[in-house]
Chain A
Amino acid sequence: MKLLVCVSKTPETTAKISFSDNNSTFNEAGVQFIMNPYDEWYALVRALELKEAAGGTVTIINVGPAANDTVIRKGLAIGADDAIRVDSEPKSALFVAKQIAEVAKAENYDAIFLGKETIDYNGSEVGAMLAELLDVPYISFGSHLEMNGNVATIARDIEGGVEVAEVETPFVVSSSKGMAEQRIPNMRGIMMAKRKPLKVVPAVECEDFATVVSYSMPAAKSEVKMLDPENMDELVRLLHEEAKVL
C-alpha cells in the first residue's frame, strides 16, 4: 500500500495565545509548536500499522515553511519512510488542499490520512477539500479502520454514535481518537530520521479566498460565585432565576 499522511504544525496545547500588529497576527514569540495531535497519534500511526501488516510505504506531507522541518522529522522518527514539504506559508485551507492535491495527483496513493482537525484553527476542512480535488471518496472522523485487500471498513464518529462504511481505494480518511494508539519515537527512530529523504517542492499558484483579518479574545468570565455545599436548593434557584438555564 502506498500511503500519504498529511501533518500540520500547531501551537502546543497549553501555549499562551496572543496577537500582534494591531491584533492581525498570531504572536509566535515564545510559543512551542508540536505536530497536530490527531495527525501524529492517529493518522500517522494507523498508516504505519497498515504498512507493517501488508507492506508498502508511508510518506508524510506538510505545507509550510522550513521551520516545520522539526515536526516533519518527528514524523519520520515515528516511522514514516520519507517526507515532502511544500515550501509556502499555509494561508487558507483551500490553499493547503490544492498544494497537497497537486503532489498526490502525480503519485496515485492508495489512501490519504489526515487528522480530524487542526487544534489551532479547528477547521476540519482540508481532508474534504483534498478528496474533492482528487475526486475520491472521503470518510471523516474515522475511529476504526480495517483493510481487506483494497476494501477498507471504516467506523466514523457521528452525533451520539458511529457509522460503519465500506470504501475501495483510493480514498481520503480523517482520523479521530480510537484509530490508533500514540507512539513515542525511540532513539533508533530519531537517528534514522536524520537520513530519511525530505523533499522540498515549490507551491503552485493559488488564490486565497478566506483569510483571517483580525483576532480578538472572548469576553472575560465574571468572578465565580462560591456556594454553600449544604444548600443545593440555592444553586438550583440561581440556575433557574439568575442564569436562566433550568
Chain B
Amino acid sequence: MSVLVFAESPKGQLKKAAFEAVTYGHKVAQLLGTDCIALTLGSVEGAGVLGQYGASKVCNVANAALDSFDSQVHTAVIAESAQQLGADVVIMSHSSTGKSLVGRLAARMNAGSVAGVNAIPTNDGVFKVTKGVFSGKAIAEYQITSPVKVLSLMGNALPPQVVGADVSVETIEVAVPAGRITVKEVKTQDGIVPLPEAELVVSAGRGMKGPENWGIIEELATTLGATTACSRPVADADWRPHHEHVGQTGVAIRPNLYFAIGISGAIQHLAGVNNSKVIVVINKDPEAPFFKAADYGICADLFDVVPKLTESIKKFKAAN
C-alpha cells in the first residue's frame, strides 16, 4: 500500500503544481498510515526536492519519449508504475496535463476518481473527499468505494509545505508504449505566470471602453507582478487574447488576490473567480453586482483610480 503522486514537470521543470500535489499526497498518506512516493516522467531537473514536500522517495521513468505529452502513453506508464509500487491512491494536479490523465487512469485501473478535489480526504471506513461543483456555487462530498482511487488536486487549494529534506531519485524500469500523437509545437509565453497558477490577478472588463486603454491595467499588473485576465465580452471583441478570458466558459482561477476592474460581476463571470481568496472590485456603479462578492470595493471611475492604485503599490514596494 502507498500513495503515488505524479509530479508533472513541463519543460523538465517541477513547479508549484507539483509541490502542491506532493504536499497533498503526503497528507493523504498520513491519513492512510502509509508512504507518499513521487513519480516523475522523462528528463526532470532536481526531482529530489520533492522529498522536502513529503515524498519518502522519488521514482523516475527515464525515457525521452515522455518529454512530450501523450495521455495514452503517460497513462500506461503511470498505471504500470502504480502497480509496481503498490499504490492504491494515485494523485496528480488538476492542470491541463492532469485533467487529461485522471479519467484515463481511472478507466484503465477500473478505479473511482474525483477530479479537482479541494481538501484533504477523510477516512472513517469510507474514503470521502470534497470538490467544488456548479462552478463553485456548491461543494460536493464524494465517496470512493473502489480499492484504487484516483484524484486530481485543484490548483491553489493548499499551499506547498516543506516538511522534510531532499531524497534520492531512483530510476524504475517501466515499458513505454509507442505514442500516436505527434506534438508539433508548444507555444507558451515566457516570464508570465499562467492564469491557473497565478497568485495575483488583475482583470478588466467592458468598463475599459477599448483595447487602447489597457496600458493602465498592464502597468498595475507589472507593478504587482500579477497576471492579467479579462471578462468574456472583452475576449470576444478581441480586445484581449482569449486565454485571458475567465469565468464559467473561460478559465476558472483561484488566486490569492483578484482585482476586478470595470467588470459588472455577472454570475457566469463570478463562477470562474469566486474561489479567489480576496477580491477587490473597482466599479463606478454602486449597484454593480460584483460588490456583493467583493472583500474590498472602490466605487469610482477606474481611469482615475487605477493609476493612483499603481502609485500606492509602487510606494509600498519601495518601502518593503
Residues of A at under 8 Å CB distance from B? 11, 13-14, 17, 19, 37-38, 92-94, 97, 119-133, 135-141, 143, 153, 156-168, 171, 177-178, 208-218, 221-222, 224-227, 229-230, 232-233, 235-236, 238-240, 243, 245-246
CA distance in complex: A222, B279 (Å): 11
- With known contacts A13-B248, A129-B107, A227-B296, A232–B309 Cβ distance under 8 A: yes
- With known contacts A125-B115, A235-B296, A163–B312 Cβ distance under 8 A: no
Chain B proximity of A168: nearest CB distance (Å): 7
Chain B proximity of A97: nearest CB distance (Å): 6
CA distance in complex: A236, B308 (Å): 11
Q: Is A218 within 8 A of B181, CB to CB? A: no
- With known contacts A122-B132, A131-B104, A137-B70, A227–B297 Cβ distance under 8 A: yes
Residues of A contacting B135 with CB < 8 Å? 13, 119-120, 122
Q: Mark B8-33, 1 if CB is under 8 A from A, else 0.
A: 00100000000000000000000000
B34 at the interface (CB under 8 A from A): no
CA distance in complex: A14, B84 (Å): 47
9 tightest Cβ-Cβ pairs between the two chains A and B: A209-B112, A160-B194, A128-B103, A161-B188, A229-B300, A125-B103, A210-B112, A159-B194, A209-B146
Residues of B contacting A215 with CB < 8 Å? 133, 138-141
CA distance in complex: A222, B106 (Å): 39
Chain B proximity of A143: nearest CB distance (Å): 8
Residues of B contacting A130 with CB < 8 Å? 107
Residues of B contacting A93 with CB < 8 Å? 103, 106, 113, 115
CA distance in complex: A136, B71 (Å): 10
The contact of B278 among A124, A133, A208, A239, by CB within 8 Å, is: A239
Q: Is A14 within 8 A of B267, CB to CB? A: yes
CA distance in complex: A231, B10 (Å): 42
Q: Is A158 within 8 A of B96, CB to CB? A: yes
Q: Which of A123, A133, A143, A209 has the most CB of B within 10 A?
A: A209
Q: Is A13 within 8 A of B267, CB to CB? A: yes
Q: Is A132 within 8 A of B133, CB to CB? A: no
Q: Is B72 within 8 A of A209, CB to CB? A: no
CA distance in complex: A164, B186 (Å): 6
Pick the interface stretch among B36-44, B206-214, B286-294.
Answer: B286-294
The contact of B72 among A137, A178, A214, by CB within 8 Å, is: A137
- With known contacts A122-B133, A161-B243, A236–B103 Cβ distance under 8 A: no
The contact of B187 among A38, A94, A164, A239, by CB within 8 Å, is: A164
CA distance in complex: A50, B320 (Å): 57
Chain B proximity of A104: nearest CB distance (Å): 13
Q: How many residues of B contact A (CB 8 A)?
A: 99
- With known contacts A137-B180, A159-B10, A236–B316 Cβ distance under 8 A: yes
B124 at the interface (CB under 8 A from A): no
B311 at the interface (CB under 8 A from A): yes
Q: List 30 A-B contacts (CB under 8 A).
A: A13-B135, A17-B134, A17-B137, A93-B103, A93-B113, A119-B135, A122-B132, A125-B102, A128-B100, A137-B180, A137-B181, A139-B71, A140-B99, A158-B188, A161-B188, A164-B184, A165-B181, A210-B113, A213-B141, A215-B138, A217-B139, A218-B274, A224-B294, A226-B298, A229-B298, A229-B305, A229-B308, A239-B278, A243-B257, A246-B316
CA distance in complex: A94, B59 (Å): 29
B249 at the interface (CB under 8 A from A): yes
CA distance in complex: A96, B80 (Å): 25
B271 at the interface (CB under 8 A from A): yes
Residues of B contacting A235 with CB < 8 Å? 280, 296, 298, 309, 312
Q: In residues 190-226 of chain B, which contact A (Cβ within 8 Å)?
A: 192-197, 200, 224
Chain B proximity of A224: nearest CB distance (Å): 5
The contact of A120 among B134, B242, B280, B304, by CB within 8 Å, is: B134
- With known contacts A140-B71, A163-B183, A165-B184, A209–B128 Cβ distance under 8 A: no
Chain A proximity of B234: nearest CB distance (Å): 13
Q: Is B142 within 8 A of A213, CB to CB? A: yes
Q: Which of A126, A138, A143, A221 has the most CB of B within 10 A?
A: A138
Residues of B contacting A166 with CB < 8 Å? 181-182, 184
Residues of B contacting A143 with CB < 8 Å? 242
Residues of B contacting A92 with CB < 8 Å? 112
Closest to B112 in A: A209
Residues of A contacting B97 with CB < 8 Å? 158
The contact of B299 among A120, A229, A246, by CB within 8 Å, is: A229
